[in-house]
Structure formats: structure tokens, C-alpha cells
Amino acid sequence: MTGTLNRDALTTAVTNGEIETVLVAFPDLYGRLVGKRYDAGYFLESAARGLHFCDYLLACDMEMDPVPGYHYTSWAQGYGDAQGRIDWLTLRRASWLDKSALVLCDVVDESSGDLVPIAPRSILRRQLERARQAGYVPMGATELEFFVFKDNYDTARSKHYADLRTYSDYIEDYHLFQGTKTEGLLGAIRSHLRQSGIPVEFSKGEWGAGQEEINIRYSDLIAAGDRSVILKQIAKEIAHQQNLSVTFMAKWHADHAGNSMHVHFSLWDAEGKHSLFAAEDDHSSTPRFGMPVAASDMFGWALGGMLAHAHELILFFAPNVNSYKRYQSASFAPTALAWSYDNRTAGFRVVGHGPSLRIECRIPGADANPYLVLAALVAAALDGITHQIEPPPIFAGDAYAAQSLLRVPRSLHEAISAFEASEFVHATFGEDVVAHYLHFARTEQRKFDEVVTDWERQRFFEQG
């Protein structure tokens, strides 16, 4: 694939002076890439021995505060090193940077070599291994939405993120003319994704003023997670280079649309050649589940598992206080845990037919950690298949208006309670993972609760 490298190709590029720097990174709890910039020659010498990072990177908040209370690491344990084991399959040119390459790591225990269980990439790998042992290959892709601003990051910060100028003044959903205005940025992002080994389908204007969407190609789910975090990194860095800014916040402004990360998901056979969601004979099989297209039992059970466990897994789909402000009626963000065929008001939208039949989960926001989102969907699908969980009746109509449907949790508090109380979550992810992410979420909630907001001052300063 264009833009990808192996060790020999990297060695040649370094020798020829084409690559001087290798960015070595792994995703943190938020899904941000953290790591180091290595001299390319030293990287080639040292990669086999393993690379090292401070383990607090998996036990701190967004502002790099080493938060007390994690079992994984702490001040009492000295915040030692974690080892990054190079995943050579992720090595690629970082074409948007000068003479640079990028490679991702799995975080492993230095003494045992085992994956550190609470690391986001480890959590997804564990669920994919369960699927592999059952004979399935989960496949998928994300659709990431973000807003583009004429203010650069420094200006936005100096304005306290108020009165920002979106790149468009009107909702631009599918508008080609507005797309021409932003093509300098979006075209560069698409080009550098492609040059860096990430195949792109398209970009488009979204349902917000200055809101854009980029769709990357279907792949195995480790690659899908990697492509998603690299896309966000590329988008931010190219925006910075062009004196602009972008945000993937779930809801950056009360008057604007939210940013989603829709996930398309299907299961394939062990060789990755045949969809297990498709009916054996798509043309002669009778449509089932109330859909206009034929589907397999496997499809129904996977969907049933997702719907059965969606409420208790929302913490992975909506990880912070701001996430829940996206779930508004008539906003194209779902408020109901229902499923439907080609219906954008439902939390789970089924699309395609035959080999393209897939489940689109519309619940996650663009702020979610894609590895955790994908791990949650795999785990729920596997449980549905194991216990042959039938999906509830297909929904037709406006899910926003339906009063009988189970609702998406309205707050991080509610999501934390559902996650903690779930026997499925504890059994599936393990106590170490559950405790780590509950502490992470409670820290996010606590830090928000301690802040006095602009809304409170405006409401109570004079009249309260």
C-alpha cells in the first residue's frame, strides 16, 4: 500500500536521507497519540530492544495531571517506565511532516512481555483474539466529524474559546460550493492520509456550519482504530500548518451540531473472505427481522447483543461530561437505543445487503477513544452470538418521538452507574480494566463538578 513501510524500506529511506525522524506513539486513555520523536538512525538501532515511556501516560488526565487512585501506577510506585513494543505493521510515512515516519506501539509489561491490560489497544486486541478463537474476523470503519475554524489554536485559546469563527456561516451538508472553500484543508488531509498509507473514501460538508466529515476505508479493527487516531492527528496538524484549527469535541457549542464517530461493523469468516452477516443466498433467501434484505442468524444475534448491552457500554462511547450534550432530539445524534434499516434517527442503523450488510452504530461521539468503542462493539456482538440474543422488533418512524424506547444515558453519572453495575462488563473486560476506566470517568466528572462555569456566572452573579 502506498505510504506504508517495512523495516527494510525504512532503512533504505534513512540511508538515502529521505527520513530523518521516526515518531513512536501509542494511544492514551483519550485516544490521543503520545510518544517521542526518535532520530531515525537511533530508532533502527534501538527498536528491537524495546522503547520506553513513563507509565503515568496511562494514568493521567487530559492536562497531564498524574491522578491519584489508579492501581496500575502511582506516586507510591514511582511512575516507572512502560515498554512500547513496535507494531511494524503500522510503520508508515508521516507525509504531512518533513522527512518523517510514524509507527505505533503496543504497551507491554517489561518483565513479562505481556500486554498491559488497561491500555486501549490491549483492550481491543483482547476482544479481537476472542473473536479469532471463535472463527470470526470483525471488520469496520469510522466516519469522523469535526468543525473547522478560521481562528488558529493560539487565537482560540486567547479568546477563551468564545466567539470563534467557523469556516462556514451556514449548514453545509453535501454542499459542493462550500466544500470548494475548505478544499485547501480537506484536500490536504485526504492527500496526506493516502500518502501515509490510509485509504480514504471521501470528505463532505456535514450538518453544521463549518462541520466536515472524512470517511476512511473498511479494514480489520486494529487498523480501523489506528487509522482513526492518525486521521485526527493529521487533521489537527495540517490545520495548524494552515493557521486554522479543528475540534473533535462532541458538542463544542450549544447552537451547533455535535460531532459523531459513526462505526460500521460486520463479521467475516476466518480468512476474511465471506461476510457472516449475509444470508447464504442473498437472492433467494427470505428477508428476516422486518428488513427489506436477507440476513443471517449471526447478524441478528450480533445486533441483539449490541442492543442488549449498549446502555451499560455507553461509557466507552461517550467518555466525558461534554459527550452527553450531543444527544439532542432532531440532531442526527441518537437519543434512543433502537435499531432500524436505513433510519438515521435510531442508535443502530442497518445498511447494505449481501456482503455489504453491516451495522452502523451512531452512538459514539468523535471525542470517544476508537479502540474502546470498537472493543465494546466486538464484545457485545460476541455475547449476542454466544447466547443467541434476538434483537428487539425493528423500529420504523421517528425514534426521537417514540416514548417507549430505552434512552441513551443523559449524563456521565448515569453512564458510570450502568458500567459499574453491569455483570457483563465485569466478566468481559476484567476487574483491572473496569476499575481503571471507572476511576478515569469519575475523575472527569469530579474535575467538571469542581469548576464554576460561564453559564453559572451569567445566571447567578447579579440575579441570584
pLDDT band at 282; cut points 50, 70, 90: low
- Phi-psi sector, 164: left (phi>0), alpha (psi -120 to 50), beta: beta
pLDDT band at 442; cut points 50, 70, 90: very high
Residue-wise pLDDT for 304-339, tens only, equals 999 999 999 999 999 999 999 999 999 999 999 999
Tracing cell 479568546 back to the chain, one arrives at: 159
Strand extents, DSSP E, 186-344: 200-205, 211-216, 219-220, 245-247, 261-268, 339-341
Q: Are 261 and 144 in contact (CB under 8 A)?
A: yes
Give the C-alpha separation, 255 to 166, whole Å: 12
Please say if the pLDDT value at position 447 is more than 70.
yes
Reference 82, options 47, 51, 60; nearest CA is 51
Please say if the pLDDT value at position 281 is more than 80.
no
Give the C-alpha separation, 303 to 342, whole Å: 15
**Mean pLDDT within 420-433:** 98
**Mean pLDDT within 371-388:** 98
Query: Per residue, what are the HEC states of 8-26?
Result: HHHHHHHHCCCCCEEEEEE
Please say if the pLDDT value at position 187 is more than 70.
yes
Residue-wise pLDDT for 7-31, tens only, equals 999 999 999 999 999 999 999 999 9
Give the C-alpha separation, 161 to 153, whole Å: 9
Give the C-alpha separation, 197 to 231, whole Å: 11
What's the pLDDT score for residue 287? 82
Residue-wise pLDDT for 98-123, tens only, equals 999 999 999 999 889 999 999 999 99
What's the pLDDT score for residue 284? 56
What's the pLDDT score for residue 384? 98
Give the C-alpha separation, 104 to 107, whole Å: 10
Classify residue 18 by burial, with Cβ atoms within 10 Å: 0-12, 13-18, 19+.
Answer: middle
**Mean pLDDT within 258-277:** 95
Of 437 and 48, more confident: 437
> pTM of the prediction?
0.97
Please say if the pLDDT value at position 267 is more than 80.
yes
Task: Kindly write down the DSSP assignment for every residue of 421-464, as one continuous string.
Answer: H-HHHHHHH-HHHHHHHHHHHHHHHHHHHTPPPHHHHHHHTTT-
Residues 377, 443, 211, 198, CA torsion sign:
negative
Give the C-alpha separation, 311 to 327, whole Å: 14
**Mean pLDDT within 148-172:** 95
What's the pLDDT score for residue 50? 79
Query: Percent of the chain having pLDDT more than 70?
Result: 99
Q: Which three cell numbers stand for residue 409?
A: 444515558
Residue-wise pLDDT for 120-151, tens only, equals 999 999 999 999 999 999 999 999 999 999 99
Please say if the pLDDT value at position 423 is more than 90.
yes
Q: Roughly how many angstroms between the first and final C-alpha of the chain, as a whole number?
A: 62
Cα–Cα separations (whole angstroms), residue 23 to 75, 81, 236, 317? 28, 18, 16, 28
Q: Which three cell numbers stand for residue 280?
A: 447464504
Residues linked to residue 147 through DSSP beta bridges, in sequence order: 211, 247
H-assigned helices in 143-220: 153-158, 176-195
Residue 409, Cβ neighbours under 10 Å: how many? 24
Bridge-based pairing of strands 21-27 and 100-108 is parallel
Q: Are 145 and 366 in contact (CB under 8 A)?
A: yes
Q: Are 132 and 261 in contact (CB under 8 A)?
A: no
What's the pLDDT score for residue 2? 86
Bridge-based pairing of strands 33-39 and 21-27 is antiparallel
Give, as one character, the DSSP assignment of residue 58.
G
Walk me through the domains of the chain, giving residue ranges and CATH numbers.
7-112 (3.10.20.70), 129-457 (3.30.590.10)
pLDDT band at 285; cut points 50, 70, 90: low
